[in-house]
Chain A
Amino acid sequence: MTINRRIFLGSTVAITTSLCAPAVLTAQGRPQVVVVGGGAGGATAARYIANDSQGAVDVTLIEPTRAYYTCFFSNLYLGGFRDYESLGHSYGTLAADYGINVVHDWAIAVDRDTKTVRLAGGGSVPYDRLVLSPGIDFIEDSVPGWSLAAQNAMPHAYKAGSQTQLLRAQIAAMPEGGTFAMVAPPNPYRCPPGPYERVSMVAHMLRETNPTARILIADPKESFSKQALFEDGWERHYPGMIQRIGPDFGGGSVEVDAQAMTLSIDGQVENVDVCNVIPAQRAGSIAFAAGITDGDWVPVSAYDMSSRADPEIYVLGDSAAQGAMPKSGFSANSQAKVAANAILAALTDARAFPARFSNTCWSLIDTDDGIKVGATYAASDEGIVSVDSFVSQLDETAELRAQTYRESIDWYTAITSDMFG
């Protein structure tokens, strides 16, 4: 029996030298897995399949960007707790040490009959199993007055990268006593970057640089995750700075004007200096192109993350309608391991093990004031269901909050090496 020792062991990666040869040659005779999207779901799946199969499976990762900036911890960059570079990761190790064919291109279509993925650059890639982990796209017109054309005036900063840098620059350029507005998204939404952690980080930055500024949140949701913890933290750290307008007061009835820089809440027009619009979300467009969506998302089996419409396509992370898990990078990473095991069992003689999932989401409210929420999950016929859950408490000691934050930093280092090697 071959034991697939993960890279965690620090042992060398068992990749045969033939992997260094051109892809056309190496693919011969080996089953092929194509992964679309190099984030927490896709990068993890690619790495685990390549590593655990020890070269027996040919893995291609299609990802348009050369440097991946994580959504998780991007709020900490807005708050000044991380530098931008620390959010960036390259695919160099996945290509060099794991023998993954990393293709920087857009996947634009999936032909499920011939089992090929078509690329914007003109090529196409055949697959035996396809993994789609494309994250989110925005639902057009979900915030009246806003479209992608307005994203420079009113950034979403919900795909990390230049949008995040833009938002930070706009916060820095706010006039004294100015207004930062956020149009919060309806459920379900990608998180991280959590809107309410973002508000905390913006408040932290403004308290240092522009203490008379105010933060206005228009929110279509009655309530949100960790709400009591955030509101307690805002009261302690940023008293009077943050105002949240929920649906009872028109928070769900907004309109923006990116030229005039106004936000209208239930007909009342506010002049704002920064407007962070986080629109309603749906599965990444390749999922629609593949024809496996139902409504805004892709229904999947909780047992292996395979699409209910096509069992040879696995869908991870934000795009999947899987049940109880939040749309977090941690969830995508957890789901990727279940899918990788199922794919290896289908294509090689690897053993299949039962699905199990977990998630933890850390948030920073202010310096050394970290909180977390999380759960363990299991598969059922109806979808992924929560087994047990936990959340930070209101009366925790300052030392525990500081420890929670330090722990999140360790987690960041660990999960990014779990993704990128």
Chain B
Amino acid sequence: MSARQILTGALALTALATPITALADVVRGEALFRPCRACHMIGEGAVHRVGPDLNGLVGRRIGSAAGYEYSDDLTEAGAEGEIWTDETLDRFLAGPRAYFPGTNMVFRGITASEDRAALIAYLSAEGGAPDGAAQTGGTDIDPEIATILEIEGDIAYGAYLSSECTACHRAAGGTDIPSIAGLAPSVFIAGLLSYRNGTRQHLVMNALAQRLGDEEIAALAAYFASAE
């Protein structure tokens, strides 16, 4: 019996009620989720960070977590009624940009289908059902992000600062260096904060973000939000 079959329709999975094979998947999925933690939270106390809070993901409408500013592609898919199911998640995790070219998720995808299944098993077990018991505080915003969101960004200063970004980031985006034009301020700020505090590791971005003060991040966020 595959993990997929076990998971079908079993939104209220808990470790205790889960057969051994699926439990093994959940355990492996937790390990696979580790790199995702640079941007996503799941479980008790989870809030939106660079990516949305993933509690209640499996079974909810795509692009629908309250308080998170999605790319147009995900918002539109949700508006058309598309749901995050094992199948849609599998497709997304195989290659996020192949599914949603406009997604802001900077991730190349997981090649092995059994790894994707394990990750989905973990997301389902840990995040619970939509609006279920495990979905906590999905609309809360990280206080560090909220602090910078309250600063009115100086767009002219942001335009000047942005010239440091444009040496590597193009509006059209690349295969590994994404476009940052048009990002929602909360997402943009969360991204820079994750590099500034080291939750996300990247030699160049860590060095650049570490010398950005809150005012400068707010200025850049205001500028890039105005960019289409």
* A interface with B by C-beta (< 8 Å): 1, 3-6, 8-11, 48, 52, 330, 333-334, 337, 341, 351, 353, 356, 358, 360, 372, 374-376, 387-392, 403, 406-407, 409-411, 413-415, 417-418
Taken together as a complex, chains A and B put the C-alpha atoms of A356 and B163 apart, in Å, by: 10
Instruction: Report whether B174 and A409 are in contact in the complex, using a CB–CB cutoff of 8 Å.
Output: yes
Taken together as a complex, chains A and B put the C-alpha atoms of A388 and B170 apart, in Å, by: 24
Number of interface residues of B (CB under 8 A): 30
Taken together as a complex, chains A and B put the C-alpha atoms of A11 and B164 apart, in Å, by: 19
B113 within 8 A of A: no
Of the A-B pairs whose beta carbons lie under 8 Å apart in the complex, a sample of 28, sorted by A's number, is A1-B156, A8-B162, A8-B171, A8-B181, A9-B181, A9-B227, A9-B228, A10-B228, A52-B159, A353-B161, A358-B208, A360-B204, A376-B210, A376-B211, A388-B207, A389-B207, A390-B204, A391-B203, A407-B177, A409-B174, A410-B175, A410-B177, A411-B177, A414-B166, A414-B167, A414-B170, A415-B167, A415-B168
Instruction: Report whether A6 and B170 are in contact in the complex, using a CB–CB cutoff of 8 Å.
Output: no
Instruction: Report whether B203 and A3 are in contact in the complex, using a CB–CB cutoff of 8 Å.
Output: no
Question: 7 smallest A-B Cβ distances: which pairs?
Answer: A410-B174, A410-B177, A337-B163, A390-B203, A9-B227, A406-B176, A414-B170
Interface string of B164-195 (1 = CB under 8 A from A): 10111111001111000100000000000000
Instruction: Report whether A407 and B176 are in contact in the complex, using a CB–CB cutoff of 8 Å.
Output: yes
B139 within 8 A of A: no
Instruction: Report whether A334 and B164 are in contact in the complex, using a CB–CB cutoff of 8 Å.
Output: yes
Instruction: Report whether A374 and B226 are in contact in the complex, using a CB–CB cutoff of 8 Å.
Output: no
Instruction: Report whether A388 and B168 are in contact in the complex, using a CB–CB cutoff of 8 Å.
Output: no
B155 within 8 A of A: yes
Among A6, A52, A341, A406, max chain B CB count under 10 A is at A6
Instruction: Report whether B176 and A418 are in contact in the complex, using a CB–CB cutoff of 8 Å.
Output: no
Instruction: Report whether A410 and B203 are in contact in the complex, using a CB–CB cutoff of 8 Å.
Output: no
- Tell me the B89-135 residues at the A interface (CB within 8 Å): none
Taken together as a complex, chains A and B put the C-alpha atoms of A358 and B171 apart, in Å, by: 20
Give chain B residues whose Cβ lies under 8 Å from the Cβ of A356.
161, 164, 211
From A6, A330, A353, B157 is in contact (CB under 8 Å) with A353
Taken together as a complex, chains A and B put the C-alpha atoms of A78 and B30 apart, in Å, by: 45
Give chain A residues whose Cβ lies under 8 Å from the Cβ of B203.
372, 374, 390-392
Given contacts A358-B208, A376-B208, A388-B207, contact A333 B167 (CB under 8 A): yes
What's the nearest-Cβ distance from chain A to residue B223, in Å?
9
Interface string of B199-228 (1 = CB under 8 A from A): 000011011101100000000000000111
What's the nearest-Cβ distance from chain B to residue A417, in Å?
6
Give chain A residues whose Cβ lies under 8 Å from the Cβ of B211.
356, 376, 387-388
What's the nearest-Cβ distance from chain B to residue A333, in Å?
6
Given contacts A375-B207, A409-B174, contact A5 B168 (CB under 8 A): no
What's the nearest-Cβ distance from chain A to residue B106, in Å?
11
Give chain B residues whose Cβ lies under 8 Å from the Cβ of A11.
228
Taken together as a complex, chains A and B put the C-alpha atoms of A411 and B168 apart, in Å, by: 5
Instruction: Report whether B163 and A6 are in contact in the complex, using a CB–CB cutoff of 8 Å.
Output: yes
Taken together as a complex, chains A and B put the C-alpha atoms of A415 and B206 apart, in Å, by: 20
Apart from the given pairs A5-B226, A6-B159, 12 other A-B contacts in the complex at a CB distance below 8 Å: A8-B166, A9-B226, A48-B163, A337-B164, A356-B211, A358-B164, A374-B204, A374-B207, A392-B203, A409-B175, A410-B177, A418-B167
Give chain B residues whose Cβ lies under 8 Å from the Cβ of A48.
163
Instruction: Report whether A414 and B163 are in contact in the complex, using a CB–CB cutoff of 8 Å.
Output: no
Taken together as a complex, chains A and B put the C-alpha atoms of A372 and B203 apart, in Å, by: 9
What's the nearest-Cβ distance from chain B to residue A407, in Å?
5
Give chain B residues whose Cβ lies under 8 Å from the Cβ of A6.
159, 162-163, 166
From B174, B207, B210, A413 is in contact (CB under 8 Å) with B174
Instruction: Report whether B160 and A341 are in contact in the complex, using a CB–CB cutoff of 8 Å.
Output: yes
Give chain B residues whose Cβ lies under 8 Å from the Cβ of A8.
162, 166, 169-171, 181, 227
Instruction: Report whether A414 and B159 are in contact in the complex, using a CB–CB cutoff of 8 Å.
Output: no
From B156, B166, B174, B206, A3 is in contact (CB under 8 Å) with B156
Give chain A residues whose Cβ lies under 8 Å from the Cβ of B155.
3
Instruction: Report whether A414 and B208 are in contact in the complex, using a CB–CB cutoff of 8 Å.
Output: no
Instruction: Report whether A351 and B156 are in contact in the complex, using a CB–CB cutoff of 8 Å.
Output: yes
Instruction: Report whether B162 and A414 are in contact in the complex, using a CB–CB cutoff of 8 Å.
Output: no
Taken together as a complex, chains A and B put the C-alpha atoms of A52 and B210 apart, in Å, by: 27
Give chain B residues whose Cβ lies under 8 Å from the Cβ of A341.
160
What's the nearest-Cβ distance from chain B to residue A153, in Å?
37
Give chain A residues whose Cβ lies under 8 Å from the Cβ of B170.
8, 410, 413-414, 417
Instruction: Report whether A10 and B181 are in contact in the complex, using a CB–CB cutoff of 8 Å.
Output: yes
Given contacts A10-B228, A337-B164, A376-B211, contact A414 B174 (CB under 8 A): yes
Give chain A residues whose Cβ lies under 8 Å from the Cβ of B171.
8-10
From B166, B206, B226, A390 is in contact (CB under 8 Å) with B206
Give chain B residues whose Cβ lies under 8 Å from the Cβ of A358.
164, 167, 207-208
Give chain B residues whose Cβ lies under 8 Å from the Cβ of A337.
160, 163-164
Instruction: Report whether A4 and B159 are in contact in the complex, using a CB–CB cutoff of 8 Å.
Output: yes
Taken together as a complex, chains A and B put the C-alpha atoms of A319 and B97 apart, in Å, by: 43
Give chain A residues whose Cβ lies under 8 Å from the Cβ of B181.
8-10
Taken together as a complex, chains A and B put the C-alpha atoms of A417 and B171 apart, in Å, by: 10
Give chain A residues whose Cβ lies under 8 Å from the Cβ of B176.
403, 406-407, 409-410
Give chain A residues whose Cβ lies under 8 Å from the Cβ of B204.
360, 372, 374, 390
A414 and chain B: residue at smallest CB distance:
B170
Give chain A residues whose Cβ lies under 8 Å from the Cβ of B207.
358, 374-376, 388-390
Give chain A residues whose Cβ lies under 8 Å from the Cβ of B166.
6, 8, 414, 418
Taken together as a complex, chains A and B put the C-alpha atoms of A65 and B61 apart, in Å, by: 56
